[in-house]
Amino acid sequence: MSMFCFQCQEAAKGTGCTIAGVCGKKDTTANLQDLLVYVTKGVSLVAELAKKNSVEIDKADKFVFEALFVTITNANFDDNKITDKILEGIEVRDTLKKELEEKGFELPVDLPE
């Protein structure tokens, strides 16, 4: 994988790290953090639909809070923990989708990326 990390104020020359993180972060970690942000957006989107349809979203709220903390600058470079959080997010999202379907709600097919 190639490195492109723009997550902090330490980014080389203010443009993002492209070879290795100035902070010591590896490319795999930067990419996993980006994936976690992507999954978190998906959880948030489904949680918003769930809330509008009276489905409990406490687990989604907790997940989003924790996931965003994992991605802040220099807080967590543990690839295994980041991967676990990604998998947790997928589980939270899928649980919400199932609960919505059980209430007869169909997710739109044109969800944003």
In this prediction, residue 107 carries a pLDDT of: 84
Supply the pTM of this predicted model: 0.84
Phi, psi dihedrals of residue 89, rounded to the nearest 5°? -60, -40
Three-state DSSP class for residue 5? strand
> Which pLDDT tens digit goes with each residue over 66-85?
999 888 866 678 999 999 99
> What is the C-alpha separation between 19 and 101, in angstroms, rounded?
44
Q: Residue 81: its pLDDT value, please?
A: 94
* Helix ranges restricted to H, 53-78: 58-70
How far apart are the C-alpha atoms of 102 and 38, rounded to whole Å?
26
Residue 5: pLDDT over 60? yes
The predicted structure's pLDDT at residue 86: 98
Over residues 23-51, the pLDDT tens digits come to 777 888 888 998 999 999 999 999 999 99
pLDDT, tens digit (0-9, with 9 covering 90-100), for 80-103:
999 999 999 999 999 999 999 999
